[in-house]
């Protein structure tokens, strides 16, 4: 058995589901997971993603792949000029007068 099918079985068991019901929840044929255990059959990435969604886990949880979390870069100058950018602190909106001061500081005024 492969790591993928072992992980699918493990998560299905934790959720009290059969492999057939997991496949059906994912919109796949009910015996597809059993077919993947054979060496001559391998799933598509879309099928694995559908199984992951049906089990409420990530694609990486099933495949064992590691993904690097790359930091998101933000163009601060563009963001402060965009009227649709929400500026908050600790989940609360920044008062308009404080926001204007912050924008001026970020612009270097």
Delineate the domains of the chain, giving CATH numbers in brackets: 3-63 (1.10.260.40), 76-107 (no CATH)
Coil, helix or strand at residue 68: coil
Instruction: Kindly report, residue by residue over 14-48, the tens digit of the pLDDT.
Output: 889 899 999 999 999 988 888 887 766 788 999 99
Put simply, whether the predicted model's pTM sits higher than 0.75 gets the answer no
Sequence-distant (6+) residues with CB within 8 A of 11 are: 55, 57, 61, 62
Which candidate, 17, 15, 39, places its Cα nearest to that of 30?
Answer: 17
Residue 25, pLDDT score: 92
Lowest mean pLDDT among 64-68, 99-103, 104-108: 64-68
Tokens of 19: 């492999």
């Amino acid at each position: 058995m492969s790591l993928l099918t072992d992980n699918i079985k493990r998560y299905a068991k934790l959720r009290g589901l059969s492999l057939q019901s997991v496949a059906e929840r994912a919109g796949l044929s009910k015996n597809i997971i059993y077919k993947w255990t054979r060496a001559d059959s391998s799933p598509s990435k879309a099928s694995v993603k559908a199984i992951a969604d049906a089990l409420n886990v990530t694609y990486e949880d099933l495949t064992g792949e590691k993904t690097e979390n790359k930091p998101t870069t933000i163009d601060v100058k563009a963001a402060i000029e965009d009227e649709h950018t929400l500026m908050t602190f600790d989940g609360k909106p920044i008062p308009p007068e404080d926001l204007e001061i912050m924008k001026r500081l970020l612009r270097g005024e």
